[in-house]
Chain A
Amino acid sequence: GENVEQHPSTLSVQEGDSAVIKCTYSDSASNYFPWYKQELGKRPQLIIDIRSNVGEKKDQRIAVTLNKTAKHFSLHITETQPEDSAVYFCAASMNRDDKIIFGKGTRLHILP
């Protein structure tokens, strides 16, 4: 089955700097890659997603890139702010109706 690896597990970034979280997946049939943000004690919230027919997607300060050949996708957050501090999960699934497999998460700390 699908396996999603996520790095780093913890990331500290100075406020205003950029943060990058990287994920790899094992099943080349996967074609949907969402990213979730989970604040302490709260439910995960979808922040951005990408499908395998595009290589990059951007939404304001957040962008995701996908390299299908390398089976690698990344989350980029620019001009980080204190409210960006949270745990971020990448995920992958084979199609819209299939189960989503999550990475282990990255705890992002934005330093003042």
Chain B
Amino acid sequence: GAVVSQHPSRVICKSGTSVKIECRSLDFQATTMFWYRQFPKQSLMLMATSNEGSKATYEQGVEKDKFLINHASLTLSTLTVTSAHPEDSSFYICSAMAGYTGELFFGEGSRLTVL
């Protein structure tokens, strides 16, 4: 099946710094990518929908200025957590939609720990 690569898998940062997470579709083009946040033992919470070449669509309650999403190409979307705080610590997962089937493929996830 299609492969989505997410990097880094783990990141530890200090409060106030920014962290960028990359999501790449390796063998297909993804016009639409999604970013989720997952708290321990909880479901995937959709943060935003990322469309190539346009601004991301954020879900209600998600701060646009805090979680910057860029989808500059058909194979890459990035999530930047700006001025990170301990409450931003979480598991962030991206997914990419394969245009030919509509199937959703997930990245491996990135565990962010903010000290």
Contacts and interface: CB of A to CB of B under 8 A. Distances in A.
A68 interface: no
**Considering residues A44, A45, A96, A101, which has the most beta carbons from chain B within 10 angstroms of its beta carbon?**
A44
Interface residues of B, number: 18
A39 B93 CA distance: 14
Interface residues of A, number: 20
A102 B109 contact: no
Contacts of A102: 43-44, 46
B46 A89 contact: no
B52 interface: no
B106 interface: yes
B43 A43 contact: no
B97 A44 contact: no
Interface string B76-115: 0000000000000000010001000011111111000000
B44 A44 contact: yes
Nearest to B31: A97
A97 B102 contact: yes
B42 interface: yes
A85 to B, nearest CB: 14
A27 B54 CA distance: 27
B67 interface: no
B42 A104 contact: yes
Contact of A97 (B97, B105, B107): B97
Given A34-B104, A43-B93, A101 B46 contact: yes
A7 B74 CA distance: 37
B49 to A, nearest CB: 5
20 contacts: A34-B103, A42-B108, A43-B106, A43-B108, A43-B109, A44-B93, A45-B106, A46-B104, A89-B44, A96-B97, A96-B102, A97-B32, A97-B97, A99-B46, A100-B34, A100-B46, A102-B43, A104-B42, A104-B43, A107-B41
Interface of A: 32, 34, 36, 42-46, 49, 89, 96-97, 99-105, 107
